[in-house]
Copies of this chain bind each other. A is one copy, B any other.
């Protein structure tokens, strides 16, 4: 994926004294992609004949989509973000992605949308963990 968020963060007047690591703009992009994938996976699960066996997947999809949405927004204002809130949010996002990925992985053999969604969630979990360790751990 290639969006304009990296360019935007570099155009911030504060970026001269405080460079925004590429990792953070990648993290915002991935969270945003994961949000859409999870929302679409919830909808595809709802449309499956065996919807009853996909209840937990749908719930975790919706939670993951919401946490990812907020994480990408907060990163887009990262230059003066509160680091305690940022760190806790990256932890919440990694945890929501991990929970959703684990559940979708179980359904991946039967449902292509769960397979794709699980892969996006794992990528998102990893980049959130990396961003947390490289930029927000004390």
Q: Interface residues, chain A, CB within 8 Å of chain B?
A: 1-5, 7-9, 11-14, 28-29, 32-33, 35-37, 39-44, 46-49, 51-52, 55-56, 58-60, 62-63, 65-67, 69-70, 72-74, 76-77, 79-82, 84-85, 88-89, 91-92, 95-96, 98-99, 111-113, 116-117, 120
Other than A63-B85, A89-B92, give 8 A-B pairs with Cβ distance below 8 A: A4-B120, A13-B47, A36-B73, A42-B77, A51-B51, A59-B77, A89-B96, A91-B91
- Pick from B4, B11, B84, B111: contact of A111, CB under 8 Å: B11
Q: A12-B113, A36-B8, A112-B11 are in contact. Are A70 and B59 (CB under 8 A)?
A: no
